[in-house]
Structure formats: C-alpha cells, structure tokens
C-alpha cells in the first residue's frame, strides 16, 4: 500500500480494521481479509445480495445500504445481512383469485402498517416503500408494481419494519400479477414466442450446442448487440 493513501478505521462484525479511504463497504471488507461467498453478487447495485447495516460514531441511528454502493467512512460499525429470513407466501401465479386483492389474502400483515415510513428510509434504492404498501392496502396492484419496480429484493425494508411486513415480497407479487394480467401485452414479445414455437431458432441452437468453448467465446464477442 502506497504511503500517501489515507487509512480509516472501520469495525466489521465487531472487529477493528484499517482500510484505505474511499472504498465501498464491500471493498473495505475484502481489503480487511473477508472472502465474500455470501452477501455479494453483481457488485453493481442490482442483485440486492449485499444488504448491510451500519452505525456512524457518535450517532445512535442504525443505517442500511448496499455494501457494493455505500462508501466506508472512518469509525463506521458495519454488519452484513447476506440473507433475510423473511416469510415469502407460497403462491402460483395462474392459480391466484383475480377477483380479490391477492396481496391482502397472502400478506394480511400489510394491514398492520402504521405509516411510520421506516421502510422508505431503509430502502437503498430510495423507493417509496410505504406508499406502495398503502397502495397494496387499497388493492391498487398496478401502483404497487410501478412504485416497487426498481426493488432489488435486499430485504432491508422488512428487517426494519416494526409491523413485520415483508414489503419486498409484496412488491414482487404485485409486479408478477401486473405483468401477467394488467400490463398491456407487448406485440414484439408475442411475435418472438410465436417464432420460438414455430422452431425458427432450432437450427441456430443446434449450431451453438455443437461449438467448442473457444468457438462460443468468439461467437459471443461477435454477437449482434444494440449499441
């Protein structure tokens, strides 16, 4: 490590470490020697695998963020939550009763919402989580789907909720129902499904399956992509 890199003190899972300033929490953990097997995925803020809580020195508040996005600060106390054991109701999309509000049937705890907004404050994506829970209560599934669209399923909302609502699972259910039954059907998708069913891609698939790994890598590099 070059001598002019400023080091900061962080506490990871209760242990003190010196790490270079400016790293994300995830990189600070790796610099400290943690080999992340759980609690890491895309490293880009999309997969929601790296939910983390932290506290700043002299501040009683517990903050939450994604470890791959938040910057480590001097004196930070950090703990990761690589998996949130929240209850996900079992459901099969095609078997849901579409004449009732499936959210209330599967997640009746949304009625316990006390509108404290803790879920919204916990969300690293800055989603209006409480607003979509209120929309769920009103049965406005499309609004829930829209407001929760950028959810990465990290579970931090559920971890902080005093009413023990599992917001992120509620949002996922609404997005599935909205996508299957309420959103306008995309014509290009219907065309592509028809092409798949007609076997238009069989020959191309067959060619790919016969390629060696090197040939596949080359073909991947030369693929047609939208720039």
Helices assigned H by DSSP within the chain: 25-31, 102-106, 118-122, 129-138, 141-147, 156-160, 167-177, 187-197, 202-210, 213-221
Residue 81: CB minimum distance to ligand FES, A = 12
Q: What is the DSSP letter of 68?
A: T
The CA R_g of the chain, rounded to the nearest whole Å, is 22
Min dist. Cβ of residue 80 to ligand FES (A): 11
- Residue placing its CB nearer to ligand FES in the complex, 66 or 110: 66
Shortest Cβ 127–ligand FES spacing (Å): 14
Nearer to ligand FES, 64 or 103 (CB): 64
Rule CB under 6 A: which residues touch ligand FES?
Answer: 40-43, 45-50, 66, 68, 152
In the complex, least distance from residue 218 CB atom to ligand FES, rounded to whole angstroms = 29
* Choice between 45 and 75, CB closer to ligand FES: 45
- How do strand 51-55 and strand 15-20 relate by DSSP bridges? unpaired
> Is the CB of 134 or the CB of 153 nearer to ligand FES?
153
Instruction: Give the C-alpha separation, 162 to 99, whole Å.
Output: 30
Q: Min. distance of Cβ 35 from ligand FES in angstroms?
A: 15
Q: Minimum distance between the CB of residue 70 and ligand FES, rounded to whole angstroms?
A: 10
Distance between first and last Cα of the chain: 39
* Closer residue to ligand FES in complex, CB, 67/103: 67
Print burial letters for 1-31: b (CB count within 10 Å at least 16), e (below 16). Answer: eeeeeeebebbbeeeebebeeebbbbbbbbb
- As a whole number of angstroms, the distance between CA 102 and CA 136 comes to 9
For ligand FES, which is the closer residue by CB, 49 or 130?
49
């Amino acid at each position: 490590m070059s001598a002019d890199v400023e080091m900061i003190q962080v506490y990871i899972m209760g242990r003190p470490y010196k790490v270079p300033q400016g790293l994300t929490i995830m990189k600070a953990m790796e610099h400290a020697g943690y080999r992340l097997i759980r609690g890491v995925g895309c490293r880009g803020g999309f997969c929601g695998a790296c939910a983390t809580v932290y506290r700043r020195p002299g501040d009683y508040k517990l903050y939450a963020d994604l470890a791959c996005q938040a910057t480590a600060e001097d004196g930070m106390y950090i703990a990761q939550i690589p998996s949130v054991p929240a209850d996900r109701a079992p459901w099969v999309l095609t078997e849901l009763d579409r004449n009732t509000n499936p959210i209330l049937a599967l997640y009746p705890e949304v009625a316990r919402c006390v509108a404290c907004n803790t879920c919204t404050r916990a969300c690293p994506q800055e989603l209006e989580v409480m607003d979509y829970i209120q929309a769920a209560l009103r049965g406005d599934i499309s609004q829930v789907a829209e407001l929760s669209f950028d959810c990465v399923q990290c579970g931090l909302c559920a971890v902080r909720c005093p009413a023990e609502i599992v917001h992120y699972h509620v949002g996922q259910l609404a997005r599935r129902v909205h996508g299957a039954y309420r959103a306008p059907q995309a014509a290009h998708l219907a065309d592509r499904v028809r092409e798949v069913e007609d076997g238009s891609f069989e020959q191309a698939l067959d060619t790919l399956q016969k390629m060696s790994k090197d040939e596949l890598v080359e073909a991947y590099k030369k693929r047609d992509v939208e720039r």
